[in-house]
A and B are shown apart, each in its own frame.
Chain A
């Protein structure tokens, strides 16, 4: 194997692995903390139709596969010395925030699959907190991407 090729850092793959892990981890956090520990939306949500059960099952399967796949792909990049850690971190935060915001806007509001919480008088503060958390995580991801890109320009010049 060509030595120079072996040590080529793969920024694009590093970032996508980060995104995959971020999406998987945030989906798992949502499911473990909000579905199972707080039970804000539940194991079986009485207000969702049978199709809701199916989508929940699909989400759950996808989240587990994403975390395991991401972990092994990260190990693979690391072993090949192709891991750009700063790009992976940037992707990770983009994945976290992207999932959170997608869930908060598309799933909760557009499709109305489930809400953050039931039985409260005013859901607005919950929605704001949920989506604001997503925006902050996305902003961190964008800032890390900007840093990774300028670091790359530095080494290139």
Chain B
């Protein structure tokens, strides 16, 4: 077991640097676009910029060597990473409206191809909350209730794939429920609210199920550790989902009373 961890340790520098570099490029592009907007005399909400910076910071924290190593042999660490990568960071990134910013900043031809991509069949289909829910919560049920979790402990490729899936599915879900960016297949507010409700209940159910029946099975973790991880998942997931409910109703309020408060000062 220690030998395995030593291997992970020596291979680690590259596996930390690559994701960090990706986040740095993402953040750089966003900030550059905001500066361009300002230079052109157009306004861009500071809240959105702050939201994007926060989302990127959470990703960097989640991938920091200390936490990543902790997460590799401790389910509690894994759960903190999961909450940061799959639930909290996506909120920051998606509520920052990066696509709207890109459409405003990029030349018309590039903006057109982004809109074409958003209207393409797969994206159109994924923009609905139900597939987003299945990918998001379904992925979680698969990871913790099948041997998949145990496999990720020894297979670094699978490990990174699972994290990438969490991040993308998390972003997709936030976008489908309450994302400010253009969504050609956004469902009605009651459908979105119902899906959000199902997601919260399913998340709470899974974490309690893991606590009560000690899942994931056949791991090197002891019962106490798994139960603490399940509690982290329960309370942490709650907090993230509460923020998403607030984002959902804030956008409802803003659409009803466009002059009441402004996320985007004119």
Q: What residues of chain A have their CB less than 8 Å away from a CB belonging to chain B?
A: 43-44, 50, 53-54, 56-58, 60-62, 64-65, 68-69, 71-72, 75-76, 79-80
Contact of B200 among A60, A69, A80 (CB under 8 A): A60
Contacting residues, chain B, for A53 (C-beta < 8 A): 205, 208-209, 212
Q: Is the CB of A60 within 8 A of B204?
A: yes
Shortest C-beta distance, B196 to chain A (Å), equals: 7
| Nearest-CB residue, chain A, relative to B242 | A64
| Nearest-CB residue, chain A, relative to B251 | A72
Contacting residues, chain B, for A68 (C-beta < 8 A): 242, 245-246, 249
Contacting residues, chain B, for A43 (C-beta < 8 A): 208, 211, 231, 234
Q: Is the CB of B204 within 8 A of A57?
A: yes
Contacting residues, chain A, for B256 (C-beta < 8 A): 76
Do most interface residues of chain B lie in helix, strand or loop, or is the interface mixed?
helix
Contact of A61 among B197, B209, B211 (CB under 8 A): B197
User: What's the Cα separation between A102 and B191 when bound, in Å?
Assistant: 28
Q: What are the 10 tightest A-B residue pairs by CB atom distance, in nearest-first order? A: A61-B200, A57-B204, A72-B249, A57-B205, A61-B201, A57-B201, A44-B212, A68-B245, A53-B208, A58-B201
Q: Is the CB of A56 within 8 A of B249?
A: no
Contacting residues, chain B, for A60 (C-beta < 8 A): 200-201, 204, 238
Given A68-B246, A69-B245, list of 13 further CB < 8 A pairs?
A44-B208, A53-B208, A53-B209, A53-B212, A56-B208, A60-B200, A60-B204, A61-B200, A61-B201, A61-B241, A62-B197, A64-B200, A65-B245
Within 8 A of A (CB), among B82-106: none
User: What's the Cα separation between A53 and B206 when bound, in Å?
Assistant: 9
| Nearest-CB residue, chain A, relative to B199 | A61
Contacting residues, chain A, for B264 (C-beta < 8 A): none
User: What's the Cα separation between A19 and B209 when bound, in Å?
Assistant: 32
User: What's the Cα separation between A56 and B207 when bound, in Å?
Assistant: 12
Contacting residues, chain A, for B234 (C-beta < 8 A): 43
Contacting residues, chain A, for B257 (C-beta < 8 A): 76, 79-80
| Nearest-CB residue, chain A, relative to B211 | A44
Contact of A79 among B196, B197, B241, B260 (CB under 8 A): B260
Q: What are 29 sample pairs from A and B whose C-beta atoms fall under 8 A apart? A: A44-B211, A44-B212, A50-B212, A54-B201, A54-B205, A57-B202, A57-B204, A57-B208, A58-B201, A60-B204, A60-B238, A61-B197, A61-B201, A61-B204, A61-B241, A62-B197, A64-B200, A64-B238, A64-B241, A64-B242, A65-B193, A65-B196, A68-B242, A68-B246, A68-B249, A72-B250, A75-B253, A76-B253, A76-B257
